[in-house]
Structure 1
Amino acid sequence: MAKKLVIKVTAGADSPERCSQAFTVAAVAVASGVEVSMWLTGESAWFALPGRAAEFELPHAAPLPELIEGILAGGSLTLCTQCAARRDIAPADVIDGVRIAGAQVFVQESLADDTQALVY
């Protein structure tokens, strides 16, 4: 089993099932003791802002704020630099624990030894 899991989610409210699946997998992996780095790109970038996750609804799915809390409790949550810039999101705008970083960091994390990368 991979010692680290890097998850890149591109979906947001535009594709709720795919979005929820990515956050669920990340939260379950953290709860299972796996080191997780989750990347918010595309429409999922909005979930880096306070209150946005609470607006997300999907029947029979865990609440997104709880999943994010679980991910941040033992993993990392990163907002793509370009995605943030396209949406005028500044570092001061994001929820506590979210960092903003670019493709170089994503590639470094994804190619590290004992790492598995998933894209949703």
Structure 2
Amino acid sequence: MSRALVIKVTAGEDAPERCNQGFTVAAAAVASGVPVSLWLTGEASWFAVPGRAEKFSLPHAAPLADLLESVLLAGRVTVCTQCAARRGLEQSDLLKGVRIAGAPTFVEEAVADGAQALVY
């Protein structure tokens, strides 16, 4: 069994390179067959809303919407409970397949045997 990655992206359009790097690593890991749990927190939470990832643009980077789609197809995507609440987001506002969960769930995933947590 391969090592699982728990990736937390804390940045959005406020730090586009850091944001895109987290999504790129998550998509590359999924493509390599690595189990991935991608957490969207802070400004990255907005990318769980339909149409938001399509608006993100960074020169010389894969489209964020494509990266997110690949993770949704083969991994798990979560929006932080508090981050969603601060932005007025509810489950019905999010892309199909994205869940809302809190810190206890993140900690459980991050400390699981064989897991590696990365924060961007």
Fold conserved between structures, TM > 0.5? yes
SS in 1 for 2:11: coil
**Cα root mean square deviation, aligned:** 1.0
CA distance in structure 2 between the aligned counterparts of 1:45 and 1:105, rounded to whole angstroms: 16
Q: Matched residue pairs, number? A: 120
CA deviation after TM superposition for structure 1 residue 73, in Å: 1.2
Match of 1:72 in 2: 72
Task: Report matched runs for 1:1-120 at 5 Å.
Answer: 3-120=3-120
CA distance in 1, matches of 2:21, 2:98: 20
2:65 and 2:8 map into 1 onto residues whose CA distance is: 18
Equivalent residue of 1:100, what SS? strand
Summarize deviations over 1:58-87 as a string: whole Å, max 9, x none: 000000110001101110000000000000
Unmatched tracts of structure 2, length 5 or more: none
Unaligned runs of 5+ in 1: none
Cα deviation per residue 1:77-117 (whole Å; 9 max; x = unaligned)?
A: 00000000000000000000100000000000000000000
- Deviating above 3 A after TM superposition, structure 1's stretches of 4 or more consecutive aligned residues are none
**What's the % identity of the aligned pairs?**
66
